[in-house]
Structure 1
């Protein structure tokens, strides 16, 4: 990527990978005005009643295409080069979970989407392990009730039911993660040096992160019988994780990542304790700023 001219505008890019579409937007860091964007719809796959999946490769192809098309639009419509971009951030659908092979870079099953309910039987089995079948028995650690909604149960289902996942686990080539992890791993090189990370907001929706340490919790991983080595490294939501490995935006740093609803809370400037926002999209999501101290309920 060519160096940026001193007179070039300072732009930032945002990848928004949602349930219904993938898009890439470019903003002026001085005015916050959107300069350019490109969006591609993403289909959902429903093989059974209550099952909702998406093709991880289709999602990744859509993200790459959004980057490429926006680069073209920047030049044709605004006479701007991609070297005006200082950094790229990512906002993604939360809880949606994917397993892939780190050698081939291929998904081992479709991504299980956040609203999928196939893990109801997995939840029932797990509740059989706890006194009084208490769904809230882990809330003191992760802040969440045992529910099909969260990623840990989706990972457990993949480990129990998908032969390709079992084989990759035995071969030591299995990686799992939420959609931010899948995107960042591919964008930074995939099988050729891709970085396997997640941020605290996405990790907080897995049921595997300890809310006090902000790291994967041994007790939680043991409860769900999920090896920690399969999981991405947890990072903050604002730091340089790596750089785009190829394409027209090669070399641009990926410098932020948040689950979409957390990002919306920030975007609505709910920065003070007690402030809240409600988002109406594929679902309705109410988030409340609880402040900087640990809150267990």
Structure 2
């Protein structure tokens, strides 16, 4: 495959800036567009950052990944260093571009880049200096439990979900921001002085990649998929809602909120200001779970995907009108590609612990040295031996929304082995996914015919077969599993002419090769009986954390 940058000119050994990234005035054939251009994708997750480069067929051709430190200063607290997040992204770009260069390509071949990111994670910085004022508060952090209880008692709390699609919980960005303003002096001072900048990780990265406070015109934006996770945005208008801001006591004159723009745009997200990709436009932005749905080409109502990452997130495309769940799910923006297209919405079921449970067995309990060995350990036994592990490290998310639970093992006997606990850990994600699927069937009026999957834990054949067995529907694992990063690349490529319409993308993921469908093989009666046991365990773990207990007994460092 030939690239356009083989004859890159240099000036004193430095590549000359290239200004032909946007589609205006470029008259290429469809084949040239498909085979000649590449799109970069920043995938900033909970445990690692990555930069991938995709060709016009949607295949990843180069990638670099870095894990970074997760901080747990107190029980229930979860933080990241915002500068480390930025540095890891910049290092990944440099690493992937070196590999790309070794293949004979250059920066001139990169048409644009997209960003996908962990959602809800809250970053605050000084709008004058561009420096963070506190560590990022990560999405599963539960320090806001008492604050959420107080908010639920306020007038108007019951009306929030209808406006923004999210229930009050420790999950969204709103309560994290409020906690920071109330508890961190530097944040409170910046708020009172009108220099507090707020954003989710996408906003922080876009701001700094564009030069931060040193830019001629700082770029402070977010897309509607990320904004829909804050509880500040009206789902229908896709703009900040004064009723929502007033409920949380946020004064817009004292805080810099990111401008909400479509997920795909050639100009709104600016350009990379320094490094090997200087001048390349950032043209797409999607929260990671929306990005995975796009990467799975889930463009039709009724299509769904489940991403098994640190957490587990199931999105169900409901079309161009939001559906407010009555059964414990979230309503969210699936994607908004602009250009005259209407935004598309989804129902979502969010599970806090999936791959994080595997990491817990690996890192905290020393069950294995590599994640893949946990599946091998689980395969060493025929079943869970009666063990049920409710992995409620941060309470339970959809469809339960239990904030006062902790991780709990049930059914341990002298017969219990590491293999039984490993198997129960994988099963916990599968049972919670079934609960979400059941809720989606009630909200939508019909059961899914199959479930498209991606994410690291989807590589476990045992986990995927268990998912098919307990849910009673086929599990479809594509050959190309980098769907989260691909979604951000699609958003950027649509904005910059690499792909013209969504129809150009069909078939990218569902090719032959290593694609595999896992078919249910368990009798329904047995599957229902096991699921009933899981629900019994969930009920028994309720109320473990009582008011004041965690503050007095659980604030040791983790």
Kept in 1: contact 2:51–2:64 (CA 8 A): yes
Deviation at 1:129, TM superposition (A): 1.1
Residues 23 and 128 (structure 1), Cα distance of their counterparts in 2 relative to 1, 3 Å cut:
same
Kept in 2: contact 1:51–1:117 (CA 8 A): yes
- 1:6-28: CA deviations, max 9, x gaps? 99931100000000100100011
Q: Which residue matches 2:492?
A: none
1:124 equivalenced with 2:149 (yes/no): yes
Equivalent-residue separation in structure 2 for 1:196 and 1:225 (angstroms): 22
Query: Could you say which structure has the greater relative contact order, defined with CA pairs below 8 angstroms and 6 or more residues apart?
Result: 1
Of 2-11 and 262-271, deviating more is 2-11
Equivalent-residue separation in structure 2 for 1:21 and 1:82 (angstroms): 24
1:27 equivalenced with 2:49 (yes/no): no
Equivalent-residue separation in structure 2 for 1:57 and 1:157 (angstroms): 21
Q: Which residue matches 1:223?
A: 247
In structure 2, list runs of 5 or more residues that go unmatched: 1-16, 22-27, 326-558
Q: Which residue matches 2:204?
A: 182
Higher helix proportion: 2
Equivalent-residue separation in structure 2 for 1:246 and 1:155 (angstroms): 30
Count of matched residue pairs: 292
1:40 equivalenced with 2:66 (yes/no): yes
Runs in 1 of length 4+ with deviation above 4 angstroms?
3-8
Equivalent-residue separation in structure 2 for 1:71 and 1:114 (angstroms): 30
Equivalent-residue separation in structure 2 for 1:202 and 1:264 (angstroms): 13
Kept in 1: contact 2:48–2:66 (CA 8 A): yes
Equivalent-residue separation in structure 1 for 2:270 and 2:163 (angstroms): 30
Equivalent-residue separation in structure 1 for 2:82 and 2:198 (angstroms): 12
In structure 1, list runs of 5 or more residues that go unmatched: none
Of 145-154 and 163-172, deviating more is 163-172
Kept in 1: contact 2:19–2:279 (CA 8 A): no
Deviation at 1:167, TM superposition (A): 1.4
Taking only aligned residues, the RMSD between alpha carbons, in angstroms, comes to 1.7
The SS at the match of 2:207 is helix
Equivalent-residue separation in structure 2 for 1:23 and 1:35 (angstroms): 13
Q: Which residue matches 1:282?
A: 310
TM-score relative to the length of structure 1: 0.94
How does 1:66-77 map onto structure 2 within 5 Å? Answer: 66-75=92-101, 77=102
Kept in 2: contact 1:3–1:83 (CA 8 A): no
Residues 211 and 144 (structure 1), Cα distance of their counterparts in 2 relative to 1, 3 Å cut:
same
1:54 equivalenced with 2:80 (yes/no): yes
Equivalent-residue separation in structure 2 for 1:3 and 1:116 (angstroms): 42
Deviation at 1:166, TM superposition (A): 1.1
Equivalent-residue separation in structure 1 for 2:58 and 2:226 (angstroms): 25
How does 1:1-297 map onto structure 2 within 5 Å? Answer: 1-2=17-18, 9-29=36-56, 31-75=57-101, 77-130=102-155, 136-193=158-215, 194-228=218-252, 229-240=255-266, 241-297=269-325
Equivalent-residue separation in structure 2 for 1:186 and 1:227 (angstroms): 25
The SS at the match of 1:210 is coil
Kept in 2: contact 1:142–1:209 (CA 8 A): yes
- 1:99-119: CA deviations, max 9, x gaps? 001222211111000000001
Equivalent-residue separation in structure 2 for 1:168 and 1:4 (angstroms): 40
Equivalent-residue separation in structure 2 for 1:9 and 1:3 (angstroms): 16
Kept in 2: contact 1:115–1:149 (CA 8 A): yes
